[in-house]
Amino acid sequence: MPFPFDFANVETALIDTNADGRISVTEITAARTAEFAVINTTVADDVTFAEFSAYTTKQQTAKLTSLDTDNTGTLSLAEFTVGQTDANTVSVATEIFDLADSNDDKALSAAEFNVLLPNAGGAIHQFAMLDQNYDLVISQAEYLAAPKKTAGNLLPPPQRAENLLPPPQRGGKGGR
């Protein structure tokens, strides 16, 4: 089931600069290059995790703000389901809303809303996926490249594989 809001259409319209209804590699590259420039708030050529995390937090806040039509800083169920007409979609969206409303106040705070976003809490994961050479910064080339893929993305980088090995045993009788 898709997320109740269709953010993809908004993003597509911004990226499809020639309005042909298709997104070319050139348009994607231009959009990613512009986004990198926004994320990179220092004079360095690389993006730090702090810059990346600040950017993702700002994006999540902007999504909440765009839906918060009464400017309360929270989302009501009506704001959360706005534009949904299919009964099944509304039912699922209502259940998602109720599950996310952890304090049962019938409103989603920014923290509750952010849990619902596709990359919620994923700034660390996203950053690690983009940092191709494991140097703890993202270059523009890394940002434009496809993210790395590993088994579950939980293993340490290859050059740190020695961290997986147990420490050497010393002495006799089982190393004691």
Instruction: Give residue-wise pLDDT tens across range 61-80.
Output: 888 898 999 999 999 999 98
> In sequence order, what are the residues at sequence separation of 6 or more whose Cβ sits closer than 8 angstroms to the Cβ of residue 113?
60, 63, 64, 75, 100
Residue 3: per-residue pLDDT: 37
Residue 121: per-residue pLDDT: 54
Asked, for residue 167, whether it belongs to a domain, the answer is no
Highest mean pLDDT among 61-75, 114-128, 143-157 belongs to 61-75
Q: Which two tokens stand for residue 70?
A: 């009464």
Asked, for residue 170, whether it belongs to a domain, the answer is no
Q: Rounded to whole angstroms, how far apart are CA atoms 102 and 89?
A: 21
Asked, for residue 46, whether it belongs to a domain, the answer is yes
Asked, for residue 27, whether it belongs to a domain, the answer is yes
pTM of the model: 0.59
Asked, for residue 60, whether it belongs to a domain, the answer is yes
Which domain range does residue 57 map to? 7-149
Pairing status of strand 46-47 against strand 138-139 = antiparallel
Asked, for residue 160, whether it belongs to a domain, the answer is no
The domain tally of the chain equals 1
Asked, for residue 175, whether it belongs to a domain, the answer is no
Asked, for residue 16, whether it belongs to a domain, the answer is yes
Q: Rounded to whole angstroms, how far apart are CA atoms 138 and 49?
A: 8
